[in-house]
Every structure is written in C-alpha cells, then in structure tokens.
Amino acid sequence: MGKRVRTFSESEDKPALEAAGKKYRVNMTEAMTLHNLETGVKGANEANGYLQMTPSAWKQAELLAGRKLSRDDPKDYAEAGMAYYDWTRKQVQQASGNTGGKPALKDVYMAYNAGVGGYKALNSASSSAIAADVVGKKVAENNKHFYYDSNGKPLTVAETKKLYASTVKSKMDEVAPAPNKSKQLAFKAPSTDGENDMFPFKK
C-alpha cells in the first residue's frame, strides 16, 4: 500500500545516534544539527531517512562500517549516517589542507549535501560564478534551496556558500541555543511530504 512514515522515537533513535556519534567521534551537537538540517531540507527523490542517505552514500557507509546495514534498524541507520559524515569530514579536511583541527560544520555539511566533488568545485570557483553550473544540474535541482532564490533565479557561488553557512548556524542555534535560552537538545519532527521519510517501510 505504499510508504508510511515511521513516527520518530526519541527513546530509540536519539540513543542510537549518540552511540554512533561516539563511535565515529561526532559530538551530539554536530549529529543533531545534521539531523535537523536533513529533515528540514527537501532532498533528492532517491534519498530517504532522517539523514537523507542516497543509495551511493549508503554503500559507502557499509564499506566504512565493514558490514551490511539495514535502513529499517535505527541503530544501523544512525551508524550509516555517522560513518558517512565522518568520512565526509575527513575528505573536507584533506581538501582544505587542514590536518590539525576539525573542519567547520558548515563546510562538512556543504560537502555532505553537495558531495565532496561539489564542495571542492564551489571552493575553487569564482565567487561570481553561477553555483548551479559549478556543482551540476542534478545537485542543484535536488537542493534548490541552496542554488536558486524564491523566484527561481540562480544564485552565485558567494550567495550559495553564504546560505549554507547561515542555514547551518540557524540549525546549530536550535540544537545548542545561547546560554539564556533552553539548553535541551531537540530533534526536529520528520517531514511527511514523502521526500524526507524517516525509516520508510512498506505495509
């Protein structure tokens, strides 16, 4: 009867994400910011789950984990996301020549969202170039929010990079708010638009 959306279970999914984060050295602020980013941004049709894992990203995650992973298992899904995030983070670190501290989350997310190739292309392109042309039509069409304005006008590389940075900061503020606000780490509820299904399964 088609896909249904699994109701998010903080009792299952939050501990799973925390455990996977520890394994791959991803702190909960990063992990939950990534969760909120990918739940809130309409992704590619082929991507699903709360971390918007594409089939190719899933295969890479299985290679990193050294085993088959089930999309229907919250622990496996969390491990896939954190393994792939950690791999992406290392690629960004290598590409930037920063062999010391961890790269900024905004840079890792840009690579997670646009692909490592897209991240490299954006950073090597002219700031006035059209970002959609730089990363390619498929990436831009699957992530329109970052590459076109509300009227459909293509954004420049500078505008796209600024938008990635501001979007990540906004989501980080939701997860780890200023000291005068609540410090409870909160998950964003999953979308039900069919594009961002959380642990989809068939009835």
Asked if the model's pLDDT at residue 23 lies above 90, the reply is yes
* Alpha carbons within 13 A on the beta-carbon side of 68: 2
**Stronger pLDDT, 144 or 51, i.e. the higher one:** 144
Interatomic CA distance for residues 145 and 152, integer angstroms:
10
pLDDT-derived band at 132, boundaries 50, 70, 90:
very high
Asked if the model's pLDDT at residue 17 lies above 70, the reply is yes
Interatomic CA distance for residues 113 and 146, integer angstroms:
10
Q: For residue range 146-173, what is the model confidence (pLDDT) as tens digits? A: 999 999 999 999 999 999 999 999 988 8
pLDDT-derived band at 136, boundaries 50, 70, 90:
very high
**In the chain, what are the helix, strand and coil shares in percent, each to the nearest 5?**
55, 5, 40
pLDDT-derived band at 12, boundaries 50, 70, 90:
confident
Query: What phi and psi, each to the nearest 5 degrees, are found at residue 156?
Result: -80, 170
Residue in this structure with the two tokens 């925390």, named with its chain if needed: 18
Which domains are delineated in the chain?
Answer: 3-202 (1.10.530.10)
- Reduced to 3 states (helix: H, G, I; strand: E, B; else coil), residue 136 is coil
pLDDT for residue 120: 94
